[in-house]
């Protein structure tokens, strides 16, 4: 494993200037709390259903389940796939559809992949736009909320790079948050999608490198 979050030293003048910068308050945060960034994606999941958002501040990590929103976006496309399945089955049950019955697995795969790809692209685009306004995201019900002092370690494995039909529904990466309270189980957010994973990685680095620092490791 390699350590992440080491961004190098900051000169005294830069540190002084950053301390004088004005940051507009964000609704939903504490007084003086600095927003580092937010990310929400259908390529993230905590549990079985996809759709998760994470907010990083200089004090806390806040997580939001967005599976209902994700499912609502995908519902029309899932219905379209269901209609295609039904048509193929009805044709198979009829006399002339016997040949189609033998080709059923191939037909379903050929049709399913383009629709699944289009579904993911559209739902991902809509969901990611919801993080443009952090105040809107922070109004959602919170799934997790951990302060810096409550986090023992952040362990991340970035998703695999590249697009593969075989990896469209599989998670190859994760972010594991280990609480300082050893009686609590580690929190794992499953990841897929290289671009989304790198955005989350940048936020982990930004969060962990601030004082007091949090140990952050990356699985190679």
- pTM over the 0.85 mark: no
Count of CA atoms in the C-beta half-sphere (13 A) of 213: 10
Query: Using 50, 70 and 90 to split pLDDT, how confident is the model at 19?
Result: very low
Report pLDDT digits (tens) over 26-50. Answer: 888 999 999 999 999 888 999 887 8
123: left (phi over 0), alpha (psi -120 to 50) or beta: alpha
CA distance 72 to 126: 11
Do 34 and 23 contact (CB within 8 A), yes or no?
Answer: yes
Report pLDDT digits (tens) over 81-103. Answer: 666 666 666 666 665 555 555 56
pLDDT at 6 over 50: no
Write down the domain spans for the chain: 34-66+130-218, 70-127
Highest CATH level, class, for 34-66+130-218: mainly beta
Count of CA atoms in the C-beta half-sphere (13 A) of 193: 22
Report pLDDT digits (tens) over 166-210. Answer: 555 577 899 999 999 988 899 999 998 888 899 999 999 999 999
If one counts every other C-beta atom within 10 angstroms of the C-beta of residue 59, the result is: 18
């Amino acid at each position: 494993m390699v350590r992440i979050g080491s961004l190098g030293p900051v000169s005294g003048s830069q540190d002084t200037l950053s301390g004088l910068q004005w940051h507009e308050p964000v609704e939903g945060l504490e007084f003086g709390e600095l927003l580092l960034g937010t990310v929400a994606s259908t390529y993230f999941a905590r549990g079985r259903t996809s759709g998760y958002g994470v907010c990083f501040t200089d004090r806390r990590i806040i997580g939001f389940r967005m599976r209902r929103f994700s499912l609502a976006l995908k519902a029309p496309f899932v219905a379209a796939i269901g209609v295609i399945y039904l048509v193929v089955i009805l044709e198979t049950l009829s006399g002339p559809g016997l040949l189609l019955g033998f080709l059923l697995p191939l037909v379903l795969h050929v049709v399913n992949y383009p629709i699944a790809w289009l579904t993911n692209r559209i739902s991902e685009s809509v969901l990611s736009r919801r993080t443009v306004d952090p105040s809107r995201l922070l109004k959602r019900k919170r799934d997790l909320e951990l302060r810096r002092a409550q986090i023992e370690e952040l362990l991340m494995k970035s998703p695999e790079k590249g697009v593969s039909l075989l990896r469209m529904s599989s998670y190859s990466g994760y972010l594991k948050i280990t609480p300082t309270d050893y009686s609590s189980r580690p929190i794992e957010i499953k990841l897929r999608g290289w671009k989304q994973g790198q955005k989350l990685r940048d936020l982990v680095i930004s969060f962990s490198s601030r004082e007091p620092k949090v140990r952050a490791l990356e699985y190679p």
